Amino acid sequence: MNMKHQNLFVLLMMLLMCLPSANAQNTPTKNSAQDSVSAKIWDGDYGEIMPQYPGGDAALFDYIKKNLRYPLEAKNKGIQGRVIVRFIIETDGSISDVKVVKPVDSLLNNEAVRIVKSMPRWKPGGLMSKGKTELKRIKYTIPINFKLDNNKTDSFQYVIDPKKNSH
């Protein structure tokens, strides 16, 4: 075998070794709250069509900015940090199963959950099947950074990071 064929063979073997793990990652998981109906949840990283907040990421940022209320007690105590919230976007665009996966303090955690639960319906996501979108329940994760400036005035940052939308 010449060098070109050897490289091609090695590349093909590496690709074949990766395929089983990629398929396993696309396996849906069950939501414990809905085990009785065996509803499947797809991991957001692997949905071909991701759910979208109405108006896109900029509109989501504006919604959070306008509606988030930095808890007064957290301000007074100087509590700040990043709260990671995970939720399910249902096939009708509604939000369910909101959970804090990386807590900071109950005051900030509760506000992050409140703001996610108050969001309007999203455009649902799914998988392409025969030229049509097959809507799926999709997990979505967002980080919300609560940050105080030197004067302890409320401010926050919403970080859009598509790599965080797994799990």
Interval 55-79: pLDDT, tens: 999 999 999 989 999 999 999 999 9
User: Residue 154 pLDDT > 90, yes or no?
Assistant: no
pLDDT in tens, 25-53: 333 444 444 433 336 665 554 547 899 99
Average pLDDT for residues 10-24, to the nearest whole number?
A: 34
Predicted pLDDT of residue 39: 60
Predicted pLDDT of residue 16: 35
Task: Report how far residue 129's alpha carbon sits from residue 142's, in angstroms, rounded to the nearest whole number.
Answer: 28
Task: Report how far residue 78's alpha carbon sits from residue 46's, in angstroms, rounded to the nearest whole number.
Answer: 38
C-alpha distances (whole Å) from 116 to each of 37, 64, 68 are: 25, 8, 10
User: Residue 87 pLDDT > 70, yes or no?
Assistant: yes
Overall size of the chain counted in residues: 167
pLDDT in tens, 104-126: 999 999 999 999 999 999 999 99
Band (pLDDT 50/70/90 cuts) for residue 12 is very low
Task: Report how far residue 139's alpha carbon sits from residue 42's, in angstroms, rounded to the nearest whole number.
Answer: 6
Task: Report how far residue 40's alpha carbon sits from residue 47's, in angstroms, rounded to the nearest whole number.
Answer: 13
User: Residue 23 pLDDT > 80, yes or no?
Assistant: no
Structure tokens at 19: 């395929």
Query: What are the φ and ψ backbone dihedral angles of 110, each rounded to 5 degrees?
Result: -60, -40
**Under 8 Å between Cβ of 98 and 117:** yes
**Under 8 Å between Cβ of 15 and 138:** no
Predicted pLDDT of residue 132: 81
Global pTM exceeds 0.75: no
Band (pLDDT 50/70/90 cuts) for residue 19 is very low
